[in-house]
Amino acid sequence: MTSVYGKHPRAEFDRDLRQLQDELLALGSMAEKAVVKAVDALRTRDLEMSRQVVRDDDAIDRKRAELEDRAVDLIAIQQPVASDLRMLIAALHVSMELERIGDYAEGIGKISLMMGDQPPVKPLVDIPRMAEKATAMLRASLDALVNHDVERAHQVLADDDEVDALYDQVYRELLLIMVQDPKVIERGTYLLWTAHDLERIADRATNIAEQVIYLVTGKHVDPGRVSKY
Amino acid sequence: MTTATTAMTTPHATAAAPAAVSADTTLSVTNLDMHYGAFRALRGINLEVKRHAVTALIGPSGSGKSTLLRCFNRMNDLVPGARVEGQVLFNGEDIYHPSVDPTEVRLRVGMVFQKPNPFPKSVYDNVAFGLRINGFKGNMDDAVERSLRRAALWDEVKDRLKQSGLALSGGQQQRLCIARAVAVQPDVILMDEPASALDPISTLAIEELMRELCRDYTIVVVTHNMQQAARASDWTAFMTMGEDRAGHLVEVGSTQQIFTNPQDERTEGYITGRFG
């Protein structure tokens, strides 16, 4: 929008907002890589890689703190209103969701380390699929954020049901294996935890999508739309 | 009469011809056009000002905020060539009806200006002035104290009531003007950028006072300070000027709604500092 002053009076603030958004995407990319790496390490039983995932989570936590400081500074200095304010509030929420996604990746890394040299109780098929879907949801939610794309955000909400369905499947399968052979309960539980972490990652991506809907429309998603988990 | 073109989706929106004004409305403006000679300064204003609330008029310079404010107590009558079309109902009565005495209107709809303008008289006489010319018969000391207390000034001036009003600080002078306005017990207080000449602390004091006073009075305030509108008002009306340079209303809503989720992109552009 043009100004009667010719020059855009909020050019600097706009640049700060764009920069914050870029930082948010960088954090999103770190979180996504952590998830992919954690599941890969689990599947290939690469304990060194698992240890790395656990170590790298500190960087995600630091990045989130930086982002939060930046957003708080902008709120204090620029006194934003309307869509600017909603963007900054969304940035605070989204950075928290991304940090939590990083924590789940770290959790999967720790599970892998606990498994040590024991082989997985079953071949890992659905768990990598869950990871793939959850990270795709994460990417889509961040895309929706950048492009203010409400339709895409709604698609993420719908996709969560698929991850929930996969989780159900993994859960039933593992339960059956553990009932049949109580000796594998410990190893089965590791994979249950992993599936649960991935299911939560998808939920966090859903939360980001809900923030996008709030950012663009100024309205919260109907809380009546509750997913199974 | 020009037809209203402003689209409004809020409780403020009035029908083309209101049969009755609701009890919570103090001022009801319908299809208001205002001309200064050949220049149309306001076009198609439809607005309801809610009772015992603060309504802020915001918008860029030249959007007609002050002109609209001055329509509410017929201050524009004093400008040669000024002409008003449409209707302004004050408690259901048409204030532009030929039988209405504008002085009577100004008694009930008081005004506070941008620059504090106390009379070169004592603090006491400043407050007593309006009461005296209106033939007030009660206890003047009580009335002066009550008004100064209302304006949150009593404690600061009670020991120097005989001193000149001009000896007070800017913020105190403005509160003295508010005390002078409330002394005659109006229904409405119009404020035209009441804090723009004041320091930040005095500004906050005036805003606090508005919140206090709106329990008993209806307040309409013109402000360029967006944070002031956000902090001090219950309702916000955004005005802008069109191609014809006539001021008109773009959006009216609760202050909370206007500052978190305005519906018109011109409002959004203005309050976020990207337009106007």
User: Is the residue at B11 inside a domain?
Assistant: no
Q: How many domains does chain A have?
A: 1
CA B39 to chain centre: 23
User: Is the residue at B177 inside a domain?
Assistant: yes
**DSSP summary character for residue B208:** H
User: Is the residue at B221 inside a domain?
Assistant: yes
Residues 6+ apart with CB under 8 A from A202: A130, A133, A134, A137, A159, A160, A163, A164
The helix/strand/coil state of B90 is strand
Mutation target to probe the A interface, by most A beta carbons within 10 A, among B228, B261, B263, B271 is B261
The helix/strand/coil state of B45 is strand
Q: Which CATH number does the domain housing residue A161 bear?
A: 1.20.58.220
Chain B residue with minimal CA distance to A216?
Answer: B261
User: If you count residue pairs, one on A and one on B, with CB atoms under 8 Å apart, how many are there?
Assistant: 42
8 Å CB contact of B275 and A3: yes
User: Is the residue at B78 inside a domain?
Assistant: yes
Residues 6+ apart with CB under 8 A from A197: A104, A105, A107, A108, A111
What mean pLDDT value characterizes chain B? 91
Nearest chain B Cα distance for residue A209, angstroms: 19
pLDDT over 60 (residue B181):
yes
Chain B residue with minimal CA distance to A11?
Answer: B274
Q: Region A131-141: what's the mean pLDDT?
A: 98
The domain in which residue B58 lies consists of 25-271
Contacts by A147-156, CB closer than 8 A, 24 or more apart: A148/A212, A148/A215, A148/A216, A149/A212, A150/A212, A150/A213, A150/A216, A150/A217, A152/A209, A152/A212, A153/A209, A153/A210, A153/A212, A153/A213, A153/A216, A154/A209, A154/A213, A156/A205, A156/A206, A156/A208, A156/A209
Instruction: Indicate the residue of B227, B262, B276 with minimum beta-carbon distance to A82.
Output: B262
The domain in which residue A125 lies consists of 12-217
The helix/strand/coil state of B203 is helix
pLDDT digits (tens, 9 = 90+) for B84-98: 999 999 999 999 999
Nearest chain A Cα distance for residue B233, angstroms: 15
Chain A CB contacts of B276 below 8 Å: 3-4
User: Is the residue at B8 inside a domain?
Assistant: no
pLDDT over 90 (residue A4):
no
User: Is the residue at B189 inside a domain?
Assistant: yes
Q: How many domains does chain B have?
A: 1
Among A4-8, B56-60, B119-123, B176-180, the range scoring the smallest mean pLDDT is A4-8
pLDDT digits (tens, 9 = 90+) for A47-88: 999 999 999 999 999 999 999 999 999 999 899 999 999 999
Complex ipTM value: 0.74
User: Is the residue at B160 inside a domain?
Assistant: yes
Q: Which CATH number does the domain housing residue B140 bear?
A: 3.40.50.300
User: Is the residue at B245 inside a domain?
Assistant: yes
